[in-house]
Structures are given as C-alpha cells and as structure tokens.
C-alpha cells in the first residue's frame, strides 16, 4: 500500500508573506518598519522633555521660596542670629562672635536678672553707623539675606548687654567691698571680665515699670545704663525694645557653647513688693 502525496494547494508568494508580517507592500522592508515605529515612539519623549524641565524649575522655585519663608518665620517668632560688634561683653562674648537669640523673650517668657539681651538702641546709645564700602547690589543682597534670617544681624541699631535690674529693682553701686547691690542685697558677679571691677562710678537707680537696667560684662569698656541717663529712656531699656535673650554661641566653632543664666548670683535678691 503506497502513500499518496498530499495535495498541493496554491503557495503564498513573497508579497503575501510580507503583507501578513507587516502589512506593508513589496517596496518596504521589516527594518524600515521598525525604524518608523521607533521614530513615532520618540516623538512623545521629545514633547515631554520641555515639560519635565519646566516641572523641575517649578519644584526648585517652590523649595527655595518655602525655605525663605520658613527662615523668615523662624527669625520673626523663634530665633535670630546676631553678630557681636564690640568688646563690651568680654569675656562672655568677644568681638566677632555669632550668637543665637530667642525671640520668645519677652513674650512667651519673662526677662530675668542675669539674662544676656539684645535690644534696639533706645536712642543715642550708639554712634552713627560708618558707611559701608560695598556696591548697591551687594548691599541689597546682604540686606535681603539678613531680613530673612540667613545672615546674622549686624551692629546697625542693636546692642547686647546683661540685665542687672528688672522693673521695680533698686540698683546701687558700690558697697564697702565695691559690689553692686540689688534691692539691698550685694551680689558677687561671677560673669564680669577678670580684672574688671563692678563699676568705677557710683550710681543709685530705681528701674521704672516696663524698663530694664543693663550693664556690660566688661565694665570698664561698656557704655550701658550707667552712662546714658541723659538719653531717651534715661539710661533704661524699654521692654518693647528687647529683641530677645542670647542663649548660645554658634561661631566661631572654638567658642561654641550655651549662654546660661547665672541664677546663683541673684538667688538671694528679694523681690520688690508691688
């Protein structure tokens, strides 16, 4: 028994095969078809590139603006950096130090004897500022960065001193041992610069309501409440002029450290009866 050959039907020609594979006519090859698909796929990518660049710029702008706003809010309500311009607070602070100041005092917290406070000049305590030798652009950039809190506040119109008397206190110098007395209690001021005396000049002052009596730790080199009696405020600092209390030295790193209130110095000072 012999096998019979399978019937042979019509065979597809090359053009039909190409049509089945790629739907193209005889004049186009599979390679050309693949290239066309790649070109079509690349068109959306080229359209997306400018959109991605625009999105990146928007995100960067949002981050920068958010950082500036956050810095401004922190400076306004929490902390602010200040630059120490003189030797009046040596050895606690030296010229060139940078300190951080809490804006929560006064306000959320009270000012206490012994606090180191930054305050706006009540009027005439500071000499007119020397002109800065810088270009208008540089000055504008510096002012803007200082405003938002990215640079420390310069000397401008601010001073930094230690609170010795709060409202109602009777501050007197000097007793038989040359010490300052507050409400009749002599105090041993451990923070004044070694070699300094509590005061080379006598004084007898009662601190008015809503005012402060301040002195520098470098007593023989500090134009403080003792020497501004003829100026606005009579040598006292209005509470409204207080920017805040310095609580930490941040620069240079060799001076890094907390500024603690020397509470023991004033521990025995009696409170004034209202």
pLDDT of amino acid 2: 44
Q: What is the pLDDT of residues 116-162, one digit of tens each?
A: 999 999 999 988 766 666 667 666 665 665 555 445 455 468 999 99
Q: Does domain 80-128+136-266 have CATH number 3.30.300.30?
A: no
Which regions in the chain score pLDDT beneath 50?
1-10, 12-28, 31, 34, 41, 149-150, 152, 155
Could you tell me whether strands 185-186 and 257-258 are parallel, antiparallel, or unpaired per DSSP bridges? Answer: unpaired
pLDDT of amino acid 50: 61
pLDDT of amino acid 108: 78
C-alpha–C-alpha distance, residues 50 and 22, integer Å: 34
> Could you give the 3-state DSSP secondary structure of residue 148?
helix
Whether the full predicted model's pTM is greater than 0.85, yes or no, is no
Q: Which residues are catalytic?
A: 88, 161
Q: Do the beta carbons of residue 207 and residue 166 sit within 8 Å?
A: yes
pLDDT of amino acid 92: 97
C-alpha–C-alpha distance, residues 113 and 98, integer Å: 22
Residue 70: count of CB within 10 angstroms of its CB: 12
Q: 14-22 and 30-77 helices cross at what angle (nearest 10)?
A: 10
C-alpha–C-alpha distance, residues 108 and 189, integer Å: 27
């Amino acid at each position: 028994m012999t096998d019979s050959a399978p019937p042979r039907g019509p065979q597809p020609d090359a053009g039909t095969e190409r049509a089945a594979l790629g739907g193209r006519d005889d004049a186009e090859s599979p390679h050309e078809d693949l290239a066309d698909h790649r070109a079509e796929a690349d068109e959306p990518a080229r359209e997306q590139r400018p959109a991605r660049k625009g999105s990146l710029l928007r995100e960067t702008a949002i981050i920068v603006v958010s950082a500036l706003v956050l810095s401004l809010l922190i400076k306004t309500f929490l902390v602010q950096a200040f630059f120490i311009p003189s030797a009046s607070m040596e050895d606690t602070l030296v010229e060139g130090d940078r300190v951080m100041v809490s804006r929560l005092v006064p306000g959320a917290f009270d000012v206490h004897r012994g606090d180191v406070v930054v305050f706006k000049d009540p009027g005439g305590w500071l000499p007119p500022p020397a002109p800065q030798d810088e270009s208008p652009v540089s000055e504008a950039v510096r002012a803007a960065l200082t405003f938002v809190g990215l640079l420390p506040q310069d000397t401008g119109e601010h001073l930094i001193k230690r609170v010795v008397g709060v409202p109602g206190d009777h501050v007197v110098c000097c007793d038989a041992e040359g010490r300052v007395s507050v409400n009749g209690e002599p105090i041993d001021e451990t923070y004044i610069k070694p070699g300094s005396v509590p005061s080379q000049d006598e004084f007898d002052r009662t601190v008015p309501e809503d005012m402060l009596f301040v002195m520098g730790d470098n007593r023989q080199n500090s134009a403080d409440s003792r020497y501004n009696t003829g100026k606005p405020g009579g040598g006292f600092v209005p509470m409204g002029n207080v920017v805040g209390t310095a609580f930490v030295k941040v620069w240079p790193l060799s001076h890094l450290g907390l500024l603690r209130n020397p509470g023991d110095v004033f521990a025995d000072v009696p409170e004034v009866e209202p």
